[in-house]
Structure 1
Amino acid sequence: MGAHEIRIRLGGISRQRAYQITSRADFPGPVAGLEQGKVWLVEDVETWISVHRPQQAKSPQ
């Protein structure tokens, strides 16, 4: 999941806000840094959302 997908997943937040969130010490570290930017594991981001933004967590299926 790239920064754009994180922005969408968090409700369409701004690029600046996404950078602030992904730079937090409690946000999972990226698994790779590509020329187009950093990427994170979807599972790590979803876990972070479920803890820090429970209102935006996906419902179990």
Structure 2
Amino acid sequence: MGTAEVAKLLGVSRQRVNQLSHRDDFPEPVARLAAGPVWQNADIERWARDVGRID
């Protein structure tokens, strides 16, 4: 899942995802492509639940 997909899941902007991705507790991307970082869906969903951003 790329930045746009993470933004949609969290209900924030792509710019906010970029800010969040610099947090120590934010999951590391599985790859960094020319289009940007890519994360595992499960990693982002787990993080979002742990920090109370989704149910």
Fold shared per TM-score above 0.5: yes
Partner of 1:16: 15
Tell me the residue number matched to 1:47: 46
Offset of 1:14 from its aligned partner?
A: 1.9
Please give the alpha-carbon distance, in whole angstroms, between the structure 1 residues aligned to 2:13 and 2:48: 17
* Unmatched segments (≥5 aa) in structure 2: none
**Whose relative contact order is higher, 1 or 2, with alpha carbons under 8 Å and at least 6 apart?**
2
Q: Distance in 2 between matches of 1:21 and 1:39?
A: 14
Deviation at 1:49, TM superposition (A): 0.6
Deviation string 1:12-43 (CA, Å, 9 cap, x unpaired) is x1222111111111001000011101000000
What percentage of residue pairs aligned between the two structures are identical?
44
Distance 1:16 1:23 in 2: 12
Corresponding residue pairs, total? 55
Contiguous gaps of at least 5 residues in structure 1:
none
Q: Cα RMSD over matched residues? A: 1.1
Bigger radius of gyration among the two: 1
2:4 counterpart letter in structure 1: H
The AA in structure 2 aligned to 1:50 is: R
